[in-house]
């Protein structure tokens, strides 16, 4: 697995290709992206910019394996749906992954991603190359010491961590490389550039990725 095998489609949406499978996490706003068929679709939580049935219909069929928290799993009209819970280990057709709780702890954000919802991030294992997608979350204790080869953390503020909190989370996660996501549509163009510069300078092993689909800087 190489960084080039992973495409940041935009926002919190990713495509990971491991020579055998096309694996999506939170496919959203695919628009004119020439999206290949999905062998796996991972969904972190129920918000529209992470769980988008319109986008799912573009890439999935009855052969697609779905991984999602319970509240989403029951809404997916496909035969191969796997409901998951936080802090557990799974192996689906040889693809191993762990679930990491994703929730808010800041008082002004608690209602956006309550811990009781059972929403998650994922650590997906590709032959010992571990990729962590944090989902929508604040800096939480369960992130500490994950040590993936590659991590993605949200830093848009308002609903999730701001840039300074994402920097602190990067230190606790201790990834070999870690990149921010879920911020451009929230911060706008200029503030996104400022946040990227701050993250890259101060996050532990921080990198900045270029998305496949340019941001609209506003939710549709």
pLDDT digits (tens, 9 = 90+) for 49-83: 999 999 999 999 999 999 999 999 999 999 999 99
Distance of CA 178 to the CA centre of its chain: 12
* Long-range contacts from 58-64, C-beta under 8 angstroms, 24+ separation: 58/27, 58/30, 59/22, 59/24, 59/27, 59/30, 59/35, 61/37, 63/39, 64/37, 64/38, 64/39, 64/40
Q: 214 in a domain, yes or no?
A: no
Structural domain count, the chain: 1
Quote the pTM value.
0.96
Q: What span, in angstroms and rounded, lies between the C-alpha atoms of 11 and 180? A: 10
Q: What span, in angstroms and rounded, lies between the C-alpha atoms of 59 and 36? A: 7
Report the CATH number at residue 56. 3.60.15.10
pLDDT band at 220 (very low <50, low <70, confident <90, very high): very low
Q: 123 in a domain, yes or no?
A: yes
Structural domain that includes position 8: 3-202
pLDDT digits (tens, 9 = 90+) for 188-205: 999 999 999 999 999 999
């Amino acid at each position: 697995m190489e960084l080039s095998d992973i495409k940041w489609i935009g926002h919190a949406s990713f495509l990971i290709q491991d020579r055998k499978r096309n694996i999506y996490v939170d496919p959203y706003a695919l628009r004119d992206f020439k999206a290949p068929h999905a062998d796996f679709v991972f969904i972190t939580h129920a918000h529209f910019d992470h769980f988008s049935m319109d986008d799912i219909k573009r890439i999935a069929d009855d052969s697609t394996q779905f991984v999602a928290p319970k509240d989403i799993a029951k809404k997916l009209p496909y035969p191969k749906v796997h409901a998951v819970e936080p802090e557990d280990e799974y192996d689906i057709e040889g693809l191993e992954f762990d679930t990491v709780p994703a929730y808010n702890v800041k008082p002004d954000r608690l209602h956006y991603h309550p811990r009781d919802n059972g929403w998650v991030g994922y650590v997906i294992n590709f032959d010992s190359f571990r990729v962590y997608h944090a989902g929508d979350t604040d800096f939480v204790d369960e992130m500490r010491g994950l040590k993936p080869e590659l991590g993605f953390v949200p830093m848009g503020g308002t609903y999730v961590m701001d840039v300074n909190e994402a920097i602190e989370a990067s230190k606790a996660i201790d990834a070999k490389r870690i990149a921010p996501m879920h911020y451009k549509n929230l911060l706008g163009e200029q503030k996104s550039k400022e946040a990227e510069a701050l993250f890259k300078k101060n996050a532990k092993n921080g990198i900045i990725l270029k998305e496949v689909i340019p941001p609209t800087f506003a939710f549709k």
